[in-house]
Amino acid sequence: MSVRPILEAQDLVKRFPSRDGHGAIQALSGVSLSLSPGETLGIVGESGCGKSTLARVLLRLTEPDEGTIRFDGADFRAFGVAALRRARRDMQLVFQDPYASLDPRLKVGSIVAEPLVIHRIGDRTSRRRRVAELLELVGLGSDAIGLYPHEFSGGQRQRIVIARAIALEPRLVIADEPVSALDVSIQSQILNLLTDLKQRLGLSYIFISHDLGVVHHMSDRVAVMYLGRVVETAPSDRLFDAPRHPYTQALISAIPEPDPERARRRIVLAGDLPSPEAPPPGCPFHPRCPQAMPVCRETFPAATDFADASPGAPDPHRAWCHLYPAG
C-alpha cells in the first residue's frame, strides 16, 4: 500500500519581473516533487538555481504562477487565510543565516515562545515550561531563556532557530542551507541535531543545500536542480553511486574523496550558471555540458526512468537528458 505524501508539488512555475522591468526571470520552470512522511528529500544545486524560491513557494510564502501543491492530500493553493494559518503550524522553515533570523532585542525565551504566542497556545507558565523543554531538546539548556542571541555562538544560534521551528510540533521542516553559514567544525553537530530531532519527533524534511556531500549525508532521496528545473532525482545512495545526468556527475566529481583508491576524475564545468533572465534554449545545461549534442541546443529532453537498485521501489531514478532514450 502506498503512503500518501505529506507534500506533493506538480509543475511549479515562478517568474519574477526582471531588474529592468521589461522581461521576466524564470526562477522555477515546472518543478515536481513528492515527500513521504518521515522522509528527507534533499534539493541540491548551485546558488541561483531556484532552490530557495522553491522552499518559499512550497510554503506559499511566495505564490507560484502555475502548478499545484498538495499538503496532506489537500489542495494547498486553495487554502484561505484561516486554513493556511492552521497548516502553517505543521510546516516550518529554517533559514541559512542564524544571525539574521533572530531579533537581537529579544531574549531567547521570547524568541522561542513567539510561535506559541502567535498561535495562542498555552498561558505564560505553560509556555515558559515548553520553551525550557525545547531548549533542552536542542542541547542548549533552559538557562538560555534569559540571554540575548549575541551571547551565543553561530552554532548555538542555529539551535535557537531550530527550537523555535519545532515549537509548534510541525510535521514538515524545510531547511534552506541550514549549516552553510557555520564553521565546518560546527556543521556536523547541527546536522546530527536535525537527524536526532527527525527521529524523535517524526519530522519530514526538505533539506536544501549547495553542498552535495551534506545532502548525501542527510537525505533519503535527492533532487538535483539546474536553472529552475529538476534534472535528476533518485534515492540518495543510488544518485551518488550511479549519477546519470552530466551535471550531477560533475557535482559529484567535485566532492573531495579521502580514500585515494576511490578518488574520482574531476569534471570541470566551463562557464557559470547562465542568467535565469535568458536561459539557454533546449537543455539549459548545454553551454556547459561536456557531452552536449546538436539536439541539446534545440529541444528540452524528456524524462528517462532507470531501473532502480531496489525493484518495486516507489521512487524511480529519473533524469532529463538526451543521452538516454526517453520513456
CA proximity to 39, closest of 284, 211, 206: 206
Q: Which stretch binds ligand SF4 (CB under 6 A): 59-67, 84-92, 281-289, 304-312?
A: 281-289
Of 91, 285, 317, 318, the residue at the interface with ligand SF4 (CB under 6 A) is 285
Tell me if 323 sits within 8 A of 297, measured CB to CB: no
Q: Which is nearer to ligand SF4, 152 or 320 (CB)?
A: 320
Of 216, 238, 318, 322, the residue at the interface with ligand SF4 (CB under 6 A) is 322
162 touches ligand SF4 (CB under 6 A): no
Q: Which stretch binds ligand SF4 (CB under 6 A): 12-20, 28-36, 199-207, 318-326?
A: 318-326
321 touches ligand SF4 (CB under 6 A): yes
CA 65 – CA 296 distance, rounded (Å): 27
DSSP state of 297: G
Q: How many residues bind ligand SF4 (CB under 6 A)?
A: 14
303 touches ligand SF4 (CB under 6 A): no
Contact track, ligand SF4, 226-265, x by CB under 6 A = -------------------xx-------------------
109 touches ligand SF4 (CB under 6 A): no
Of 28, 112, 251, 283, the residue at the interface with ligand SF4 (CB under 6 A) is 283
Tell me if 68 sits within 8 A of 75, measured CB to CB: yes
Torsion 11-60-109-155 (CA) sign? positive
In b/e form, how buried is each residue of 125-162, taking b as 16+ CB within 10 angstroms? eebbebbbebbebbbbebebbeeebeebebbbbbbbbb
| Alpha-carbon dihedral 246, 188, 237, 33, rounded to 10 degrees | -70
Tell me if 163 sits within 8 A of 112, measured CB to CB: yes
Contact track, ligand SF4, 190-229, x by CB under 6 A = ----------------------------------------
What's the closest the beta carbon of residue 217 comes to ligand SF4, in angstroms? 26
| Alpha-carbon dihedral 216, 219, 221, 227, rounded to 10 degrees | -70
What's the closest the beta carbon of residue 33 comes to ligand SF4, in angstroms? 20
Point out which residues bind ligand SF4 (CB under 6 A).
245-246, 283, 285-286, 289, 291-293, 296, 301, 321-323
